[in-house]
Amino acid sequence: MMLIKKAVSLVLSCSVCLSSISCASTDIAGMGRGSALQMYDDETRMWKRSKEMQEVIEKSGHIYEDEALGEYIISVLHKLIGDIAETNNLDLKVGIIKDPFFNAFSLPDGVIYIHTGLLANSENEAQLAAVLGHEASHFLLRHALKQHRSTMNKTAFFNVVNMTVGTAACVVAGAAGALLAGVLGKYGLNASIFGYSRQMEREADENAFKLIKEAGYNPHEAKKFLETLAEMTEGEDKIPYFYSTHPRIKERIETFEELIKESGSPAEGIDNADIYNQMVKNLVLENAELDMKRKNGLKSARRQIARYNNMYADDFKAYYLLGKLNALEGNKEEAEERLKKSIELMPDFAESHKELGLLYYKDDKKQDARAEFEKYLALEPQAKDAEYVRGYMNE
């Protein structure tokens, strides 16, 4: 289970009707294309809490700002559930969180958040649709409300609520995870205790499969997306999110294999790869930089940069990031070659000069380093690290 999804679910569950001890029904109908949604009192309160959490996330500084990309993602969501949203008078919203891990989650009121890491590692619109379909299905099937009521019906829940307020909220990798850990800390609860059940996750995948097929997307891309994530995270010790955890991800791959076989779906349909790659062009490189800053992130960063470079040959920033990556891996000669190529393509890109200067400095080529640092400062005299760079030059 995705840890952020656990966190969101737990906060919202524990903030509604804690004083109630009567057993509440978990036999709740999902939203459909028929009659409009009739909300329960506890569901109304959960939606209110969702709005409050959304405000915290939006003001956190971890939101990736790209209006065109945001509108594009919402347009894909409309293809999947537009008519259901209209029937139930829903305002579809999607936010993007700057975080390199493969994650997405939905709030009980239907707002979906996708991490840059997931978008950067998806290859086309069909794969994006599979993610959106899964998260939207949790909302449409009202899983948050069902889980809340199920939790309240368990005696163990009340023991959890009595935990010390100072209990650590959760241990999460990534800035976005730390953000929600802080929110959970306010409630004094441990986010790792609860999460959507296997049954609910399977229900979400089954419903997502139905949605993407009805919208004309290639359902095989959903399985391919999960296989890519399994491959990318092989060997990583602690991946905090459901989209990349083992063995749960293997179960999801098997679910899609079964659904494809049962439906006899051919490997064809919409994928809109060209449109998708154009929309995430800038995000791919920015997420690669985030990956380079985390433990075990170089493999993922290399994949994203190589993918970008294949689509957009001779792009100066791709060569700049490849140079940084080579330097981190200890490949000095390749790093120098890539950084020089970046400068050749865009002489006025200051960061390439700085990175090349640092490479020379660490290799004890002080005169070469000084020349590159001077070029960097000439291009960016007010850079935040200007004094830091001048310190190198003074040596």
Choose the weakest-confidence range: 79-88, 178-187, 346-355.
178-187
pLDDT at 286: 95
Q: Which position has the token pair 């229900």?
A: 203
Is 328 in a helix, a strand, or coil?
Answer: helix
Q: CA-CA distance, 3 to 21, in Å (whole number)?
A: 27
Q: What is the CA radius of gyration of the chain?
A: 23
Q: CA-CA distance, 61 to 98, in Å (whole number)?
A: 9
Q: How would residue 239 be classed by pLDDT, with cut points 50, 70 and 90? A: very low
Give the burial string for 352-381 (b: 16+ CB within 10 Å, else e).
Answer: bbbbbbbbbbeeeeeebbbbbbebbbebbe
Mean pLDDT, to the nearest integer, of 200-221? 95
pLDDT at 166: 29
Structure tokens at 344: 């050749």
Q: Tell me which H or E stretch contains 104.
A: strand 104-106
Q: CA-CA distance, 122 to 112, in Å (whole number)?
A: 17
Is 41 in a helix, a strand, or coil?
Answer: helix
pLDDT in tens, 302-311: 989 988 988 8
Residue 375 has pLDDT above 60, yes or no: yes
Report whether the peptide linkage leading into residue 247 is cis, meaning its omega lies within 30 degrees of zero. yes
Structure tokens at 17: 């009707």
What DSSP character marks residue 36? Answer: P
Residue 170 has pLDDT above 60, yes or no: no
pLDDT at 130: 96
Q: What share of the chain is helix, strand, coil (3-state, %, to 5)?
A: 65, 5, 35
Structure tokens at 165: 């307020």
Model pTM greater than 0.75? yes
CB 147 within 8 A of CB 13: yes
Residue 163 has pLDDT above 50, yes or no: no
Of residues 27 and 291, more confidently modeled: 291
Of residues 187 and 219, more confidently modeled: 219
CB 14 within 8 A of CB 194: no
Residue 263 has pLDDT above 60, yes or no: yes
**Ordered domains of the chain (ranges, CATH):** 3-263 (no CATH), 314-394 (1.25.40.10)
Residue 2 has pLDDT above 80, yes or no: no
pLDDT in tens, 100-158: 988 888 888 899 999 999 999 999 999 999 999 999 999 999 988 888 787 776 644 44
pLDDT at 182: 52
Contacts of 311 (CB under 8 A, 6+ apart): 277, 281
